[in-house]
Homo-oligomer: A and B are copies of this chain.
């Protein structure tokens, strides 16, 4: 079954200027420019007056960067590694659409899975260490609570 190969109609996406991007992502304009400077993100385009213009995928990428920075506390270099996984996945999705060969398609899916696995493992490593810290703090909490109720029942240590 073959459908006619119509190029997908782009809805002429509205591009955002840097301040709108900053508002939407919670980053500062300076940070966004800096991420470009160090190669984490190239804006979708530039206007006539050389204004940076960002599309929806740029916003997503910047939100991911922000989470990796704020939530996971990764360095620019580590974030770069994780974004490389994203870049490979994006390229593979294009390559996937461009081929019909099932062997090649399987290979592309498998590589994408490996890349996501890498991301999951990297994040879970941080998560588990944080969970341990929380468990420790909660243990102290429990001991003080126990002492308090012990105290209230009239049996201080």
- Alpha-carbon gap, A120 to B138, bound state (A): 6
By the criterion of a CB under 8 Å from any partner CB, how many residues of chain A are at the interface?
A: 36
Do B156 and A105 touch across chains, with their CB atoms under 8 A apart?
yes
A64-114, CB < 8 A from B? 67, 70-73, 102, 105-106, 109-110, 112-113
Given A123-B134, A130-B130, A138-B120, CB of A148 within 8 Å of CB of B72: no
- Indicate whether A117 reaches chain B with its CB closer than 8 angstroms: yes
- Indicate whether A147 reaches chain B with its CB closer than 8 angstroms: yes
Which of B70, B112, B140, B148 is the one whose CB lies under 8 Å from A106? B148
Given A70-B73, A72-B73, A73-B70, CB of A113 within 8 Å of CB of B141: yes
Do B130 and A117 touch across chains, with their CB atoms under 8 A apart?
no
Q: List chain B residues, Cβ under 8 A from A119.
A: 137
**Which residues of A are in contact with B by a Cβ distance under 8 Å?**
67, 70-73, 102, 105-106, 109-110, 112-113, 116-117, 119-120, 123-124, 126-127, 129-131, 133-134, 137-138, 140-141, 144-145, 147-148, 151-152, 156
Closest 5 CB pairs of A and B: A73-B73, A71-B129, A113-B144, A120-B137, A116-B141
